[in-house]
Amino acid sequence: DAKTTQPTSMDCAEGRAANLPCNHSTISGNEYVYWYRQIHSQGPQYIIHGLKNNETNEMASLIITEDRKSSTLILPHATLRDTAVYYCIVHREYGNKLVFGAGTILRVKS
Amino acid sequence: NAGVMQNPRHLVRRRGQEARLRCSPMKGHSHVYWYRQLPEEGLKFMVYLQKENIIDESGMPKERFSAEFPKEGPSILRIQQVVRGDSAAYFCASSPGGEYYGYTFGSGTRLTVV
């Protein structure tokens, strides 16, 4: 699976959009981009995933560049409860294990 | 629809004892993954199992650790002769067969070795 690069940490004001970038320049054509988050001491939580089209669900939006070498997770109206470590993972196929990197620590501040 | 159930939530063992961690996947999920998270560190893959089969155990320590997912009942991660370095949070995730879906993780078991 392709390696990803994320900033170590980011701050965001409560109520504002949080934009979390991820670089995956070696991504292959059949690899998806997945986002998970881990709120302190809890199990990781699936957020969203995409292949090449932008995706949106009730939690977030995922914007993938046309060349697929980078993506951005957008939390439209961040709340204090969104403070967590966010993981961007490139995942090849069904059954392969998810490999977690260090992620981005997002701190939402009031 | 219950999520992934892990028990116990907290487990304290003395050095040299055995630890058994249980994971019941979501209903309809036949694939189970175990991860370990040491204090202040990231999530590390340990093992991937399907019913009665170990598919990938590349992250399992060579000694003292074993995992199973029997035809009936939960998946079990077993740690024999625990040492202080085994103290960690152990997370289990499950997914259904077929087309890929996001994994669903349990709340974890916090193992403390004293």
- pLDDT higher than 70, residue B89: yes
Q: Choose the closest CB to B103 out of A42, A46, A93.
A: A46
**Separation CA A51–CA A49 (nearest Å):** 7
Q: Which of residues 67-106 of B touch A (CB under 8 A)?
A: 89, 91, 93, 98-100, 102-106
Two tokens, residue A34: 């997945």
- The contacts of residue B86 (CB under 8 Å, 6+ apart) are B19, B79, B111, B113
Distance, in angstroms, between B73 CA and closest chain A CA? Answer: 21
pLDDT beneath 70, residues of chain A = 1-2, 93-95
Distance, in angstroms, between B108 CA and closest chain A CA? Answer: 6
The string of pLDDT tens digits covering residues B29-57 is 889 999 999 988 889 999 999 999 999 99
The candidate with the shortest Cα–Cα distance to B65, out of B39, B90, B29, B40, is B90
| Contacts with A42 from chain B: Cβ below 8 Å | 107-108
Interface test with A, best of B95, B100, B101, B112 (most A CBs within 10 A): B100
Cβ of residue A51 closer than 8 Å to a chain B Cβ:
no
Amino acid at position B32, single letter: V
Q: What is the structure's pLDDT at A94? A: 63
**Separation CA A64–CA A22 (nearest Å):** 10
Two tokens, residue A11: 């701050």
